[in-house]
Structure 1
Amino acid sequence: MTQRLLRTALAALMLSTPAMAQNADLAAISDYLNGIDTAEATFRQGNPDGSISSGVLKIDRPGLMRFDYAGPGAPVVISDGWWVAVVDRASNAEPQRYPLSATPLKLLLSDNIDLNGENMVRAVEERDGHTIVTAQDPDQPEIGTIRMVFSAEPVELREWAVTNEAGQTTFIVLDTLAYGVPMERRDFAIEWEALQR
């Protein structure tokens, strides 16, 4: 009887340890993301059509993000905290706008990120010294998922992939982020950017 109880206890410990480690990983990653004020990096982007883009990414949390794509007349993608807009520098057309709340990017730009929140994280993997977290908005799972890859020691965001409601996936691979970079508020103003064309 004692041996049976011991085996049961050991089995329970073996089952609970990964969950405990996972919760610790998610807490550390949440703390890291919440600690980002401003950051900047160059990036490479894999698009659903198989093409590759590159440029400079700026983040000013909460809510603000800017992708400056390389090349003459290349577009700019801006999150101003309410909208994510694509500004076509080669056209006088109005920027295409999408509510930030209806994109998985909101999970990166939220004021308070808690990856241990109920039903937010769909999967956690450990691979080659990286933690891979797949998350979604539990209130709007239909808007898609974001799959984030973090290095360890120190924890740092290295890449992410956004899969939208149509099943199309866009990959972003970052060079090392520079933190605490001074930002201009107008860099995240969609109307101001549209006037610069």
Structure 2
Amino acid sequence: MRFFRPGAACVLTCLLVGGAVLPAHAQEQMAVGASDQDHALLERVEHHLDGISLLKARFRQIAPDGKQTTGTAWIDRANRRMRFQYDPPSPLLLVANHDQVVFNDSQLDQTTTMPMDKTPLGLLLRPHLQLSGDVTVTGLSRDSNMLNVTVVRTESPGDGSLTLVFRNNPLLLRGWIIQDAQQQVTRVELLDVTTGGAPPADSLFNTDLPEH
């Protein structure tokens, strides 16, 4: 596993999904290093993610401006596709499929398309996310209840970072924090998570959204 070794002053601040900061007395923060304990934690994360091929959940999202929205998420990691259906009155829809991420705002009559591999979402949708090679771990933080792992693409860290947020003991994916290339931070919390079952209809992941 590849690690980025920050200076002593660079300590990862662990943000819980929802924007709360772990109290200093309740958390153990680790400068990222190649200790046996770090390796064991990351192998545990890889094993947990490998066990998630299909996931459906309610979600709560906090945008960079602090606005909160809710909706339903379908994540099909086996086929590298995702749908974020936002609840009304939100005009937003996000669909990832065919190596693209498509974001539609019906209120603005605007659709934006980006290559999946240019966004942190591309890492999340890998059927087998290995925390090594072309992925570099830049942050690792935990307390008795939570475990956060921050990763970037090794060759293009400027594209943004993805922080996976887990509940600890037992390990369960609870959400993620995305920091994009413009340093804008979006937090997503997963609620009422179910995994497995029959794959959703292909139409759910249709990226042929109206262009304006």
TM-score by length of 2: 0.76
1:100 aligns with 2:116: yes
The letter of the residue matching 1:185 is D
Query: Structure 1 residue aligned with 2:201, among 155, 163, 184?
Result: 184
Counterparts in 2 of 1:174 and 1:96: CA distance versus 1, 3 Å: same
Whether the aligned pair in 1 keeps the contact of 2:53 and 2:196 (CA below 8 Å) is yes
1:23–1:116 CA contact under 8 A, matched in 2: no
Q: Structure 1 stretch 118-127 or stretch 131-140: which is displaced more?
A: 118-127
Name whichever structure is richer in strand by fraction. Answer: 2
Q: Cα deviations across residues 60-91 of structure 1 (Å, max 9, x unaligned)?
A: 01411111001146221010141111123346
Indicate yes or no: 2:129 matched with 1:133: no
Q: Quote the offset at 1:117 in angstroms.
A: 3.9
Percent identity over the alignment is 27
Which has the larger Rg?
1
Q: Specify every segment of 5 or more residues in structure 2 that has no aligned partner in the other structure, as ranges.
A: 1-32
What is the match of residue 170 of structure 2?
A: 154
Match of 1:26 in 2: 42
Q: What RMSD, in angstroms, separates the aligned Cα atoms of the two structures?
A: 2.2
Q: Which amino acid aligns with 2:123?
A: L
Give unmatched runs, 5+ long, in structure 1.
1-16
State the structure with bigger RCO (CA 8 A, min sep 6), 1 or 2.
2
4+ aligned runs moved over 3 Å, structure 1? 89-93, 116-119
Q: Which amino acid is 1:169 matched to?
A: V
- Give the helix-richer structure, 1 or 2: 1
One-letter amino acid matched to 1:146: L
CA 20–114 in structure 1, closer or farther in 2 if over 3 Å, else same? same
Figure out how many residues of one structure are paired with residues of the other and give that number. 177
Report how far residue 51 of structure 1 moved: 0.8
Counterpart secondary structure, 1:112:
coil
